[in-house]
Structures are given as structure tokens and as C-alpha cells.
Amino acid sequence: MMNSLLQSILDSFTDVTQNSFSIVIFLLLGLFILALILAIFFPFWHKLLIRLKLLTEDEKPSSMLLWFVAVIIIVKLIQAFIVQPFIVDGGSMLPTFHNKEFLLVDKLSYLIGKPARGDVMIFKFYEGTANQYTGKYLIKRVIGLPGDRLVIKNAVTTIYNAQNPNGFILDESYITLKDPLKETDITLDSTHYFMMGDNRAQSYDSRSWGALDEKDIRGQVLLRVLPFSLFSYEPGQHIYKQ
């Protein structure tokens, strides 16, 4: 349990490299922490921070440093286990999500429950042969659940499972960019999910690299924050009728 906790925290720090916004924020925080450390030992730096209004006259750099580090740890714990920011990169989820949209990902729900068909999910990609996507976050929709058999032919997805032994066709009326050429017939085991992008014509997903291992799941899209005009709760979530 402790190793899992530490790994989640370490992963949240390595996630900084996933987008330029996080890198800039992390660098600024790092510079401020370095300045506080220098101010503890060198009066010049202490006076400089006071002049820059980053410290008050009666404020100790050591106290500010401890407070600042505590805040960062709390924020990283929240990011590791509750909510995480995500920036859409590319057009694999068009028309539901567009490039550069800023999302917040709910990580808690999948710690206490399981993904549902139709959820829009963020996961870390490690499947198949290593390529440009390996180790990066991807955003796709949950199409197949553990135990399902999926048959995709002529852009039609049919799912067979214990509740539907004769199969049912998914109502994917929200799809506008189909791909009739990619065909799949796969049965999922108890720990794997089948993921597809809404832009079927351009999405690199389970049709190419296979099923997603549940250990690589990071969370469900909770909020679309930017652009403000499209702010929404659980954007893109679709409930399939059987």
C-alpha cells in the first residue's frame, strides 16, 4: 500500500512534463523555493525578497519555505488521488473535444468504482510496441468493458456479453467522422477495456494497439474548464441504450 502511495505521488510529479503550462508553473515554483533557501543563509537574498514584496519585514524565509512546501505537497496529493488537470492534444476526440481544451480529471471515482461504457477516460499509454505515444496521457471513450466481445465491421460496433448473448449494436449517433476500414473482433478479459476516439477516422486507439489494462487508467473527465464558452460537467459522457 505504501509503495503504491509513493508511486502515485512520484507519478504526479513526473506528469509535470506532459504539458508546457505545467512546466512553466513548476519552474517558477522551483525558482521561488531556491530563492527562499538562499534567503535563509544570505542576508542579500532576504532583503531582495522583501524589496520584491515576496516577503514581509518580519517574515522568516524558513517559515515561508515550510508553508510553501506543505502547500505543494497537498496540491500534489490532490492531483495524485482526487483531481488532475489535462490539456487535450490533437483531434482524436473531435467533435466532442478540441485541441488545447483544458479539462479537470476525476481520479477518485475510479479508485472506489469502475468505469462505465460511454465514459470519457484519461489513461497513460503503455500498450503494444513502444512509439511516440508511449508514456503519454491519451483521452478516449470507453467502448468495451471486461468480459465483452466486440465486433467492429463497416463502422458498426456490436457487443456480446452475458447480458446480451445475441449482441447489441451501439448507438453511436454522436460520431461524425467514421472509419469503415478498421475491423476488430476481440474478447476482453477481466482487467481490460476497449477504448476508441470519437474521431474514428484519425484516432489511434484500441483498434490499433489492443485493449487497455485497468492499471493504466487515471480518471474520468469531470469538467471542461476552457474555453469558458464550453464549460461543462462530465462533457461528452454518453449513456448507451441496450
- Note whether residue 238 is domain-resident: no
Percent of the chain with pLDDT over 70: 86
> Is the model's pLDDT at 170 over the cut of 80?
yes
**Co-location of 77 and 132 in the same domain:** no
CB 220 within 8 A of CB 113: no
The lowest-confidence range among 23-32, 72-81, 121-130, 135-144 is 72-81
**Co-location of 91 and 159 in the same domain:** yes
Reduced to 3 states (helix: H, G, I; strand: E, B; else coil), residue 93 is coil
**Co-location of 128 and 62 in the same domain:** no
CB 195 within 8 A of CB 150: no
Q: Side by side, which strands form the sheet with 184-187? A: 168-169, 156-160, 149-153, 184-187
CB 194 within 8 A of CB 211: yes
Q: How far apart are CA 159 and CA 181, in angstroms?
A: 18
Phi, psi (rounded to 5 degrees) for 219: 165, 175
pLDDT of residue 67: 84
Asked which of 34, 66, 81 is the last residue of a domain, the reply is: 81
Q: Tell me the residue range of the domain where 226 lies.
A: 84-233
Asked which of 35, 50, 81 is the last residue of a domain, the reply is: 81
Whether 109 is catalytic is no
pLDDT of residue 152: 93
Q: Is 229 exposed, middle or buried (0-12, 13-18, 19+ CB in 10 A)?
A: exposed
Cis, bond preceding 146 (omega within 30 deg of 0): no
**Distant-in-sequence, close-in-space partners of 68: CB < 8 Å, separation ≥ 6:** 29, 32, 33, 36
The lowest-confidence range among 74-83, 111-120, 144-153 is 74-83
**Co-location of 135 and 62 in the same domain:** no
Q: How far apart are CA 36 and CA 55, in angstroms?
A: 9
Q: Could you write out the DSSP letters of every residue in 161-217?
A: -SS-TT-EE---TT--B--SS--EEEE--TTEEEEE-SBTTT--SHHHH-PEEGGGE
Q: What is the pTM of this model?
A: 0.72
**Co-location of 119 and 211 in the same domain:** yes
**Co-location of 66 and 107 in the same domain:** no
Question: Which amino acid does the sequence have at 196?
Answer: M
- What is the tally of structural domains in the chain? 2
pLDDT of residue 20: 62
Kindly report the length of the chain. 242
Task: Kindly report, residue by residue over 193-235, the tens digit of the pLDDT.
Answer: 999 999 998 999 999 999 999 999 999 999 999 899 999 988 8
**Co-location of 215 and 135 in the same domain:** yes
**Co-location of 222 and 121 in the same domain:** yes
- Note whether residue 53 is domain-resident: yes
> Is the model's pLDDT at 14 over the cut of 70?
no
Asked which of 81, 108, 125 is the last residue of a domain, the reply is: 81
Q: How far apart are CA 119 and CA 180, in angstroms?
A: 23
Q: How far apart are CA 224 and CA 237, in angstroms?
A: 12
**Annotated active-site residue in 12, 107, 124, 140:** 140
**Co-location of 135 and 210 in the same domain:** yes
CB 158 within 8 A of CB 150: yes
pLDDT of residue 5: 46
Three cell numbers, residue 164? 446480451
Mean pLDDT value across residues 153-168: 92
**Co-location of 110 and 205 in the same domain:** yes
What confidence tier does 115 reach under pLDDT thresholds 50, 70, 90?
Answer: very high
Mean pLDDT value across residues 36-58: 86
pLDDT of residue 72: 73
**Annotated active-site residue in 92, 107, 203, 206:** 92
**Co-location of 69 and 117 in the same domain:** no
Whether 182 is catalytic is no
Task: Give 83's strand partners.
Answer: 106
**Co-location of 77 and 191 in the same domain:** no
CB atoms under 10 Å from CB of 95, counted, come to 13
